[in-house]
């Protein structure tokens, strides 16, 4: 028995060393390739961008990605701006200046989403010559302006620190303000998610909008633009309040979209923790920081959803790293793992490790307990100081786990280091768009997190979630508050059939069956959802079934609830 135990320990240690060794080797070899890959796809002189200011990929067919996406460009340039402003790479300034200049021009381009003053900032992508893309597409997408504002504010703060206030106030502030005003006025409107497939409210979009408004208020105050601070701050509080509604407490994960007819388990949520990471915010759960109990619980549910659906994950232990994709129901290009989604798991874990080390402890809650039990079956709810054996056991195992996701990508990266969008779920061969800019950028940011690097705080520390929310996006402090209403309906379904709700107010998608909100079946046959509805309001609603492309409404009459003035409410129904 003793021999078996020792053999097990030795085996685990050898496995951990192998994972770390593979990760070390990949960081050393892939880091320079990833940096070169990013640079090749951006800027007018990029070797693969064909004159683009920024392109998602040089691929022009199956799929055609030779466009400038507002979201992708902002995420990529935020990574480069962080490198530049931290002094890691001082050669990037010309590229960053080109990006900000191009952003200002693109804001003024009339497009199918509108003009600069009528919604055009929500246009997802442009031709690489900065002209409007007029083909059919999932529009609007409301994350781009928020992400662009965050990227440019980071650069503008550096310029202020280095005595270049005139350029900031005269050139950059007008660009930033347009984006922030768009967020302030439109955060409560639905749009397409970051995968450009689901038209609803999206966790990723809501979270990056919240971050942008917080940073925007602080930045505006710094440069004396005090007239906008109150509006940004007010709406930031409302967005933070709404952000809480995505959490699915019964199932322990974040439901990524309010529509779409899927489980809601989605890399959208992991990417959110990564891109709204604030090293000064500790393990705050209201902003879903990487080490928060909700973000960790969500991470486990997300990763586990891919363990049995990809052949390349077959035979891998239940607490070891696997390849992950966008969401388990994905069918795009065959529905495969993505390089950026797999490595995002490792980045969230490295960010968590950074904060635990800073705090000097790990706090295990009832929510995060299943996550930690992957690494120590005997761990219990409680706080473990960095001097404890439990802390050492957990952090060592979690770092090995994080390294494992890098090792998975390493295994399926071709010899030349080129990173496509995806790799085949059965063979691991690279598929879809070649040289994806976001794949390279995500690799770089994960490598930086592994090295313990962090960047400026954006103001997530110590935020209080309002007791009631306003859904007004006008920038004023007016508008009725909201109350959380939980809808429970008893409904028996067949496999693959789901229950949705829609109704007479914006929060219930205004009777739209296409954008109806999916309910959770975690307590089947009770289906459940919690929605923030206007307070003191008569609201009508119905449940619908979706199965094999068919939509079935429950019978008349409409259900009705009058929401309370404050607090919360629960409504119990039975399918008719």
**Please, are residues 203 and 268 in contact by the beta-carbon 8 Å criterion?**
yes
Q: Do 177 and 197 lie in a common domain?
A: yes
Nearby residues of 484 by Cβ (< 8 Å), 6 or more positions away: 245, 530, 531, 532, 533, 568, 569
pLDDT single digits (tens) 26-73: 999 999 999 999 999 886 554 454 443 555 556 566 677 888 999 999
Nearby residues of 408 by Cβ (< 8 Å), 6 or more positions away: 321, 322, 323, 342
State the pTM of this model. Answer: 0.81
Element at 80 (helix H, strand E):
helix 70-85
Question: Which of 192, 221, 220 shows the shortest CA–CA distance to 205?
Answer: 192
Q: Do 151 and 252 lie in a common domain?
A: yes
How far is Cα 139 from Cα 193, in angstroms, rounded to an integer? 9
Q: Do 340 and 392 lie in a common domain?
A: yes
How far is Cα 263 from Cα 269, in angstroms, rounded to an integer? 13
Q: Do 214 and 307 lie in a common domain?
A: no
The residue from 219, 236, 265 where one domain ends is 265
Q: Do 88 and 36 lie in a common domain?
A: no
In total, how many domains does the chain have?
3
How far is Cα 477 from Cα 490, in angstroms, rounded to an integer? 39
Grouping H, G, I as helix, E, B as strand and the rest as coil, residue 126 is: strand
Grouping H, G, I as helix, E, B as strand and the rest as coil, residue 73 is: helix
pLDDT single digits (tens) 124-155: 999 989 999 999 999 999 999 999 999 999 99
Q: Is 30 a catalytic residue?
A: no
Instruction: Establish if 154 belongs to a structural domain.
Output: yes
Q: Report the alpha-carbon angle 74-287-196, nearest 5.
A: 40
Question: The domain spanning residue 562 has which CATH number?
Answer: 2.60.40.10
The residue from 416, 441, 457 where one domain ends is 457
Instruction: Establish if 49 belongs to a structural domain.
Output: no
CA 333 distance to own-chain centroid: 21
Question: Which of 85, 70, 27, 55 shows the shortest CA–CA distance to 444?
Answer: 27
Instruction: Establish if 510 belongs to a structural domain.
Output: yes
Please report where in the chains the tokens 């409007």 appear, as a residue: 132
Peptide bond before 557: cis, by omega within 30 degrees of 0?
Answer: yes
Residue 220 phi, psi (nearest 5): -60, -40
How far is Cα 171 from Cα 15, in angstroms, rounded to an integer? 53
Instruction: Establish if 35 belongs to a structural domain.
Output: yes
137 is annotated as contributing to ligand binding: yes
What does each of the 576 residues of the chain score in pLDDT, given as a tens digit? 334 434 444 444 545 666 678 999 999 999 999 999 999 988 655 445 444 355 555 656 667 788 899 999 999 999 999 999 999 999 999 999 999 999 999 999 999 999 999 999 999 999 989 999 999 999 999 999 999 999 999 999 999 999 999 999 999 999 999 999 999 999 988 899 999 999 999 999 999 999 999 999 999 999 999 999 999 999 999 999 999 999 999 999 999 998 888 999 999 999 999 999 999 999 999 999 999 999 999 999 999 999 999 999 999 999 999 999 999 999 999 999 999 999 999 999 999 999 999 999 999 999 999 999 999 999 999 999 999 999 999 999 999 999 999 999 999 999 999 999 999 999 999 999 899 999 999 999 999 999 999 999 999 999 999 887 776 554 332 234 678 888 999 999 998 899 999 998 888 988 888 888 888 888 889 999 888 888 888 888 999 999 988 999 998 888 989 888 777 789 999 999
**Please, are residues 142 and 184 in contact by the beta-carbon 8 Å criterion?**
no
Instruction: Establish if 61 belongs to a structural domain.
Output: no
Structural domain boundaries, residue 527: 482-574
How far lies 541's CA from each of 375, 389, 442, 504, in Å? Answer: 44, 53, 42, 6
Q: One of 130, 196, 197, 497 is an active-site residue; which one?
A: 196
Q: One of 72, 82, 179, 193 is an active-site residue; which one?
A: 193
Q: Do 445 and 357 lie in a common domain?
A: yes
Q: Which two tokens stand for residue 310?
A: 């990809």
How far lies 317's CA from each of 376, 401, 446, in Å? Answer: 14, 11, 23
Cβ-in-10-Å burial (0-12, 13-18, 19+) of 132 comes to middle
Q: Do 435 and 326 lie in a common domain?
A: yes
Instruction: Establish if 200 belongs to a structural domain.
Output: yes
How far is Cα 200 from Cα 218, in angstroms, rounded to an integer? 29
Q: Do 94 and 26 lie in a common domain?
A: no
CA torsion sign, 476 to 480 to 484 to 489?
Answer: negative
Please report where in the chains the tokens 């007239």 appear, as a residue: 227
Q: Do 393 and 493 lie in a common domain?
A: no
The residue from 422, 441, 457 where one domain ends is 457
How far is Cα 312 from Cα 165, in angstroms, rounded to an integer? 53
How far is Cα 6 from Cα 4, in angstroms, rounded to an integer? 6
Q: Do 245 and 312 lie in a common domain?
A: no
Nearby residues of 41 by Cβ (< 8 Å), 6 or more positions away: 48, 49, 52, 54, 55, 56, 57, 58, 435, 437, 440
Q: Terminal CA-to-CA distance of the chain, rounded, Å?
A: 59
How far lies 280's CA from each of 28, 178, 274, 570, 575, in Å? Answer: 29, 28, 14, 36, 47
Q: Is 196 a catalytic residue?
A: yes
Instruction: Establish if 47 belongs to a structural domain.
Output: no
**Please, are residues 327 and 408 in contact by the beta-carbon 8 Å criterion?**
no
Question: The domain spanning residue 188 has which CATH number?
Answer: 1.50.10.10
Element at 4 (helix H, strand E):
helix 2-40
Peptide bond before 522: cis, by omega within 30 degrees of 0?
Answer: no
**Please, are residues 572 and 523 in contact by the beta-carbon 8 Å criterion?**
no
Instruction: Establish if 471 belongs to a structural domain.
Output: no
Q: Which two tokens stand for residue 346?
A: 């490792």
Q: Do 164 and 293 lie in a common domain?
A: no
- Dump the DSSP string for 276-290: T--TTSTT-TTTT-T
Q: Do 119 and 82 lie in a common domain?
A: yes
């Amino acid at each position: 028995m003793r021999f078996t135990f020792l053999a097990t320990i030795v085996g685990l240690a050898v496995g951990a060393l192998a994972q770390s060794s593979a990760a070390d080797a990949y960081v050393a070899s892939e880091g320079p390739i990833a940096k070169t890959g990013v640079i090749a796809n951006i800027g007018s002189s990029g070797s693969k961008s064909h004159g683009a200011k920024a392109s998602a990929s040089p691929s022009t067919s199956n799929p055609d990605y030779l466009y400038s996406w507002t979201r992708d460009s902002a995420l990529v340039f935020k990574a480069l701006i962080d490198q530049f402003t931290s002094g890691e790479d001082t050669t990037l300034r010309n590229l960053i200046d080109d990006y900000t200049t191009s952003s200002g021009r693109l804001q003024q381009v009339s497009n199918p989403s509108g003009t600069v003053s009528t919604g055009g900032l929500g246009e997802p992508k442009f031709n690489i010559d900065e002209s409007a893309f007029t083909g059919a597409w999932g529009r609007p997408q409301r994350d781009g302006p928020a992400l662009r504002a965050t990227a440019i504010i980071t650069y503008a703060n550096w310029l202020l620190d280095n005595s270049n206030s005139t350029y900031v106030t005269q050139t950059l502030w007008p660009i930033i303000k347009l984006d922030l005003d768009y967020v302030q006025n439109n955060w409560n409107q639905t749009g397409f998610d970051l995968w450009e497939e689901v038209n609803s409210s999206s966790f990723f979009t809501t979270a990056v909008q919240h971050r942008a408004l917080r940073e925007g208020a602080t930045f505006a105050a710094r440069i004396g633009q005090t007239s906008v601070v109150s509006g940004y701050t007010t709406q930031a509080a409302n967005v933070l309040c709404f952000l809480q509604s995505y959490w699915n407490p019964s199932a322990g994960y974040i439901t990524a979209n309010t529509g779409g007819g899927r489980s809601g388990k989605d890399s959208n949520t992991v990417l959110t923790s990564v891109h709204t990471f604030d090293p000064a915010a500790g393990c705050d759960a209201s902003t879903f920081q990487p080490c928060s109990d909700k973000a960790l619980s969500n991470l486990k549910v997300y990763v586990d959803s891919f363990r049995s659906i990809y052949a390349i994950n077959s035979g891998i232990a239940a607490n070891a790293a696997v390849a992950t994709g966008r969401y388990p129901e994905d069918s795009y290009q065959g529905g495969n793992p993505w390089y950026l989604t797999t490595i995002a798991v490792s980045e969230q874990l490295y960010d968590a490790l950074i904060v635990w080390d800073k705090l000097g402890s790990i706090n295990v809650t009832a929510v995060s307990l299943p996550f930690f039990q992957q690494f120590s079956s005997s761990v219990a709810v409680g706080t473990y100081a960095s001097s404890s054996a439990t802390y050492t056991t957990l952090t060592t195992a979690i770092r090995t786990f994080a390294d494992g996701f890098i090792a998975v990508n390493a295994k399926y990266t071709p010899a030349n280091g080129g990173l496509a969008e995806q790799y085949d779920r059965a063979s691991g061969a690279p598929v879809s768009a070649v040289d994806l800019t976001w794949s390279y950028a995500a690799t770089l940011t994960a490598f930086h997190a592994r090295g313990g690097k962090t960047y400026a705080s954006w103001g997530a520390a110590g935020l209080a979630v309002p007791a009631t929310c306003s859904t007004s996006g006008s920038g004023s402090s007016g508008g009725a508050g909201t109350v959380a209403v939980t809808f429970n309906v008893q409904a028996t379904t067949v496999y693959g059939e789901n229950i949705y709700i829609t109704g007479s107010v914006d929060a219930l998608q205004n009777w739209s069956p296409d954008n109806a909100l999916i309910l959770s079946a975690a307590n089947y046959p009770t289906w459940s959802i919690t929605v923030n509805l206007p307070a003191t309001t008569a609201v009508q609603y119905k449940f619908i079934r979706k199965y094999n492309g068919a939509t079935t409404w429950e019978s008349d009459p409409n259900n009705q609830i009058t929401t309370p003035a404050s607090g919360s409410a629960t409504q119990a129904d039975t399918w008719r």
